[in-house]
Chain A
């Protein structure tokens, strides 16, 4: 069985400082991993995905994530936060069989 744990329910950063959202996963197979973002009253948008190619994945809006198999982690980072980054972020694991498991979400607050 696969699962994903987002280690922080809420992260608060100042504008212009780095962002780190942490995600650990558990999977019996070589997983596909995703990060989605949800802005208030909007649907979920794919930020980036890992599917066994390069371990450092670049996504939209300057976000990137690194797949570390030894640590079973897929943390999301961004060098410099922008006010528009304030949203809910979801880490997702899939075994490729269309069975996706969502983390509980991390709410990112960006202070001016």
Chain B
């Protein structure tokens, strides 16, 4: 158990809909990362938050947004969903010091858009 909790584990929704994925980081970790993993694109970095502030942005679509709340949990919002958004979405967290930079991953949320 990595200590990172993602909910829900599975999500099936229709095209055009909006969903919210939730991530609770390990206790004490300040950074949260979101990744998308699909068969054709591999593991893609979407966005990183550090202590409530956006820290880095990757290949995140404009239809997607994220935020990190004061209690450090994070949500990834996906809107106007398309079939191609079907993927495994991972959240990871890491600590606030240079010595503690490794990321710990949740089990992922499998999103299926039909």
Complex contacts, B43 vs chain A, CB 8 Å = 90, 102, 104-105
Chain A at the B interface: SS class:
strand
Contact A45 B99, beta carbon cutoff 8 Å: no
- Docked pose: A46 CA to B92 CA in angstroms: 11
A77 at the interface (CB under 8 A from B): no
- Evaluate contact between A105 and B42: CB separation under 8 angstroms: yes
Chain B residues within CB distance 8 Å of chain A: 2, 4, 31, 33, 35, 42-43, 45, 48, 50, 55-56, 90, 92, 94, 98-99, 101-108
Rounded to whole angstroms, the CA-CA distance of A98 and B98 in the bound complex is 8
A96: Cβ under 8 A from any B Cβ: yes
Do residues B104 and A100 form an inter-chain contact, with CB atoms below 8 A? no
Cβ of B105 and Cβ of A32 under 8 Å apart? Answer: no
* Count of chain A to chain B residue pairs whose CB atoms are closer than 8 Å in the complex: 49
Residues of chain B with a CB closer than 8 A to A94's CB? 101
User: Closest CB-CB distance, A88 to chain B, in whole Å?
Assistant: 9
Is A25 at the interface (CB under 8 A from chain B)? no
B49 to A, closest residue via Cβ: A98
7 closest A-B pairs by CB: A43-B105, A44-B105, A96-B98, A43-B107, A98-B31, A32-B101, A94-B101
Residues of chain A from 54 to 97 with CB closer than 8 A to chain B in the complex: 90, 92, 94, 96
Q: Report if A51 contacts B (CB, 8 A).
A: yes
Do B48 and A98 touch across chains, with their CB atoms under 8 A apart?
A: yes
B92 surroundings in chain A (CB, below 8 A) = 44
Q: Do B2 and A45 touch (CB < 8 A)? A: yes
Q: Which residues from chain B contact A43 at a C-beta distance below 8 Å?
A: 2, 4, 90, 105-108
